[in-house]
């Protein structure tokens, strides 16, 4: 039985096994996912990742057979949660990001792209991307000035950690515990690379914290940041990274209603996404 729409065909073979198939033009995603499953397996605290059971290739297509995770996709649960429950889950998610980044990247370091190359590529295409995707004109007019800050604000050679780029509700599982939920599983590693750790705070910031101060504080606390470390400079780096993210699309990915009407400058947008 196939799962929902995605980049690759993913199907449940039975209650325990999942098959994921990659066409030849997604071979890099296959290599990334296979390496990540090997590297993370059993090393992320009490959060499960799929166990890689078999992999192979047939006529240019690549495939993985892995264990099926227990739980419910967070995308099904999150909209139904009471507001009081959301900071607790974001604290868990922040801790999960930190735990993944404590795992040695191993063979992922050999796959690329190097962080410095990735930054250069994203900077080169940033303006054209956001013009095409409809970034509000007031922001687009000053985008080049903001991107010039990236040269000084973003490290080119940071300690390399594992980056999934996608801590979004479709990519982690929740399981019931007591009268609530806990983060119990993490999956989908086709876009994993290595680089600057703060990059992986973007998905939860945009999709889940969505401008709520208590949610954002919980995410940062889970990640291991004390209140004094959540500075204007940190938020500026996150804003820059959000615009440079390989899937960046602010109009569609910032889950704050009517944000273009509320943020006519990048400073205002930064304060809206990452409030005090």
> What does the alpha-carbon distance between residue 244 and residue 199 come to, in Å, rounded to a whole number?
10
Give the pLDDT of residue 179: 86
**Coil, strand, or helix at residue 275?**
coil
DSSP notation for 177-234? ETTEEEEEEE---TT-EEE-GGGGGHHIIIIIITT-HHHHHHHHHHHT--GGG--HHH
Say what the pTM is: 0.95
What is the reported pLDDT for 13?
Answer: 86
> Please, what is the end-to-end C-alpha distance for the chain in angstroms?
45
State the DSSP H helix or E strand holding residue 30, giving kind and residue range, or none if neither.
helix 27-40
| Residues in the chain with pLDDT values less than 50 | 1
Residue given tokens 């606390």 in the structure block: 221
The pair phi, psi for residue 195, each rounded to 5°, is 165, -145
| Cis peptide bond upstream of 36, omega within 30 | no
Strands 161-163 and 193-195: antiparallel
Q: Is 233 exposed, middle or buried (0-12, 13-18, 19+ CB in 10 A)?
A: exposed
Q: What are the tens digits of pLDDT across the range 95-153?
A: 999 999 999 999 999 998 999 999 999 999 999 999 999 999 999 999 999 999 998 99
3 state SS of 262: helix
Query: Residue 15: what pLDDT?
Result: 86
């Amino acid at each position: 039985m196939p799962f929902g729409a995605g980049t690759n065909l993913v199907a449940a073979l039975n209650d325990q096994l999942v098959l994921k198939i990659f066409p030849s033009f997604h071979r890099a995603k296959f290599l990334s996912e296979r390496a990540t499953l090997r590297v993370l397996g059993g090393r992320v605290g009490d959060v499960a990742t799929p166990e890689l059971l078999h992999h192979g290739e047939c006529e240019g297509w690549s495939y993985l057979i892995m264990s099926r995770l227990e739980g419910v996709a967070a995308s099904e649960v999150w909209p139904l949660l009471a507001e009081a429950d959301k900071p607790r889950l974001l604290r868990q998610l922040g801790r999960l990001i930190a735990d993944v980044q404590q795992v040695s990247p191993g063979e992922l370091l050999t796959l690329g792209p190097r962080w410095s190359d990735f930054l250069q590529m994203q900077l080169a295409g940033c303006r054209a991307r956001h013009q095409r995707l409809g970034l509000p004109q007031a922001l687009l007019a000053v985008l080049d000035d903001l991107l010039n800050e990236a040269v000084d604000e973003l490290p080119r050679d940071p300690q390399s950690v594992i980056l999934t780029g996608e801590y979004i509700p479709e990519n982690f599982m929740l399981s019931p515990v007591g009268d609530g939920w806990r983060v119990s599983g993490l999956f989908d590693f086709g876009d994993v690379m290595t680089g600057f750790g703060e990059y992986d705070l973007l998905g939860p910031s945009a999709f889940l914290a969505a401008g709520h101060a208590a949610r954002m504080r919980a995410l940062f606390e889970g990640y291991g940041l004390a209140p004094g470390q959540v500075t204007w400079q940190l938020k500026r780096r996150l804003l820059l990274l959000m615009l440079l993210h390989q899937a960046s699309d602010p109009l569609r990915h910032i889950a704050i209603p009517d944000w273009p009407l509320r943020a006519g400058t990048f400073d205002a947008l930064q304060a809206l996404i990452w409030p005090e």
